[in-house]
Chains A and B, each alone.
Chain A
Amino acid sequence: MTGFDCVTACARVARVLAVKIAVCVKQVPDAAAAKRLDPATGRLDRSGETALNATDVNAVEEALRLKEAHGGEIVVVSVGPEKALESLRKALAMGADRAVLVSDPAVAGSDLVATSHVLAKALEREAADLVLFGQQSSDSDGAVLWAAVADRLRRPMISQVAELKLDGGTATGKRQTEFGYDVIAVPLPAVVAVSDAINEPRYPSLKGIMSAKSKPTETLSLADLGVEGERVGVAGSRTTVMGMAPPPPKGGQVKIEDDGNAAEKIVDFLAERKLL
């Protein structure tokens, strides 16, 4: 006679619910450090202090919460120089399970088209149920990478997500738009980009920091991913930086102290500029 075998049944349920999550992160110059563009290349000088991109920390946090609720595995994935491993360690210290860094000198100078190609190759290798992005990279202000990666992976996507739920094989996200909110459901596997409104990230615990040192990290070359040199770097990019200049001067600035007539003075100022 066969009774209800909880061990097997529960394991089966856990297998169904457990999600493999890949979180795409980027090392960026520290927000507090002065930033400069290299005049020769027009690219951001990345030699100074660095940090894990702020919204990517929200993405890692969201992955941790999903894992706590559903079980599974979290791998952080990044494309960047060797020293980006420092930033990946922070994600591991928060609780991610392992890290993959695609690091190859040929990647330098890659634009959206080239970077999304490399990242998609690394993600294809992981075959995660859910790929998470932080909404905005603080070094390029470009809120766009995930959409390119989703198209390359041929997966459904939700971006600008302020709330995320997983239910069986479906991810449901609340997407912030100019007009309000859209609630969007996608079947897994899927790509989701989260905004910083989604959660308050935890700080790594001392235990987390210690254990991060022994968590597996993998550094991959382009050859490991089967990416051809012509698809990356300057050769693989479709945009260029042609030059830079200081922005045009704005003209005189006026600063006044309110003497009781500030409102009148503002009106005069606006009228003079034909803004009323």
Chain B
Amino acid sequence: MGTTLVFLEHHGGELQKGGLGVLARAASLGGEVAGVVLGHGVQDVAAQAGAYGASTVYVVDHETLAPPLPQPRVDALAAVVAETGAENVLFAGSVLSADVAAGLAARLDAGLNWDLTDLVADGGGLVGKRPALGDTVLVDVGWTTTPRLALVRSGSFEPVETGGTATVTPVSAQFEDFSTQPVLVEHLQETTSGPSIEEADVIVAGGRGLGAPEGFKLCEELADALGGAVAATRAVVDAGWYPYSTQVGQTGKSVSPRLYIALGISGAIQHKVGMQSSGTIVAVNKDPNAPIFDFADLGVIGDLNQIAPKLAELVRARKA
């Protein structure tokens, strides 16, 4: 297999876990694997990728790439693909990556498969695994030309620390007029403590069954004990109980953490599609007929107000 590029998204000077996970998976597929870091003043960020298995990191460093906007990244990535003749360009799914990948697909007339939960080598080529129809079917998807572009569902692959070092190779890019027209007017960071739901190994999610916005304290406490992040269903986000950035489901994010704890979530299809590929699902709900019990690994019929605080306490005691 030829060169595989992995788009490494970074935020606040840190490479995001999703991209590093894809990097680890790419390394196991064979061929040359390189990271791509785009931004302004990102040499140090790029060098971090060496510890996760990238021997080369291509960097386009330009002030146009300072704000997290997709279109200039399409220009920059197209330049890196041209420079390297890459056969595969892989992305960890995110708001930014989806736009970059689709823009690049149009630019290069290249095939893009998305929402993949696995990638396997296939006689010099690649096959992607894509869950469909609410994850009831696993579809094998392929590409008819190169470069092959793929967006991987967040949480599908864990980063692997290799302790290596990367050669950082600068690439220059020309920016299209239309790409540089969007202007970032304001950047509003929602302050959530702990990892984001894309990055977290453990997610504690809350739904209507929490009873009130204050019910999320239970989720936060348990997430804190487990070192995880808090997520929410569409119903409670719509009701204004919790920010949209934490919404999991069809109209929110798809996640697959190692552990997903659902508190007071019925498990409607709209939520299910966003979380059912999680490693282990534990559900607490007082309704014995809640659909979530059909696909939870451990379902507990009971009062979350009793169970969640006790669980947090036991976890804390165990970790102490």
Interface residue ranges, A against B (CB under 8 Å): 35-37, 42, 55, 111-113, 116-117, 135-136, 138, 141-152, 154-160, 162, 172, 175-187, 190, 195-197, 237-248, 250-251, 253-258, 262-267, 269-271, 273, 275-276
B184 interface residue (CB < 8 Å to A): yes
Residue numbers in A under 8 Å from B244 (CB-CB): 162, 176, 195, 197
Asked if residues B245 and A180 are in contact (CB atoms below 8 Å), the reply is yes
Asked if residues A253 and B296 are in contact (CB atoms below 8 Å), the reply is yes
**Closest chain A residue, CB of each to CB of B318:** A276
Asked if residues A258 and B306 are in contact (CB atoms below 8 Å), the reply is yes
**Closest chain B residue, CB of each to CB of A143:** B98
Binary contact track B279-320/A, C-beta < 8 Å → 1, others 0:
010101000100001111111111100110011011100110
B interface secondary structure, majority: mixed
Asked if residues B103 and A148 are in contact (CB atoms below 8 Å), the reply is yes
Bound complex: CA A181 to CA B95 (Å): 11
**Closest chain A residue, CB of each to CB of B100:** A147
- B113 CB contact (under 8 Å) in A36, A239, A265: A239
9 contacts between A and B (CB under 8 A): A144-B112, A148-B105, A150-B103, A177-B95, A177-B96, A239-B142, A240-B144, A253-B298, A254-B297
**Closest chain A residue, CB of each to CB of B234:** A196
Whether A253 touches B319, Cβ cut-off 8 Å, given contacts A142-B115, A238-B144, is: no
Bound complex: CA A112 to CA B114 (Å): 10
Whether A113 touches B109, Cβ cut-off 8 Å, given contacts A253-B295, A257-B302, A263-B310, is: yes
Whether A151 touches B301, Cβ cut-off 8 Å, given contacts A160-B95, A266-B307, is: no
Whether A263 touches B314, Cβ cut-off 8 Å, given contacts A144-B101, A148-B105, is: yes
Whether A256 touches B111, Cβ cut-off 8 Å, given contacts A244-B137, A246-B137, is: no
Residue numbers in B under 8 Å from A36 (CB-CB): 133
Interface residue ranges, B against A (CB under 8 Å): 11, 67-71, 74, 94-96, 98-107, 109-115, 127, 131-133, 135-145, 151, 176, 178-179, 181-190, 196-198, 202, 226, 238, 243-245, 250-251, 253-254, 258-259, 273, 280, 282, 284, 288, 293-303, 306-307, 310-311, 313-315, 318-319
Asked if residues A176 and B245 are in contact (CB atoms below 8 Å), the reply is yes
Quote the shortest CB–CB distance from B95 to chain A (angstroms): 5
Residue numbers in B under 8 Å from A275 (CB-CB): 202, 258-259, 280
Asked if residues B310 and A245 are in contact (CB atoms below 8 Å), the reply is no
**Closest chain A residue, CB of each to CB of B312:** A263
Bound complex: CA A112 to CA B319 (Å): 48
- A186 CB contact (under 8 Å) in B74, B104, B133, B183: B183
Bound complex: CA A257 to CA B127 (Å): 42
Asked if residues B178 and A155 are in contact (CB atoms below 8 Å), the reply is yes
Asked if residues B143 and A269 are in contact (CB atoms below 8 Å), the reply is no
Q: A36-B133, A181-B186, A242-B141 known; 10 other A-B pairs, CB under 8 Å?
A: A35-B133, A113-B106, A117-B106, A156-B178, A182-B187, A182-B188, A186-B181, A251-B297, A257-B288, A275-B280
Residue numbers in B under 8 Å from A256 (CB-CB): 298-301
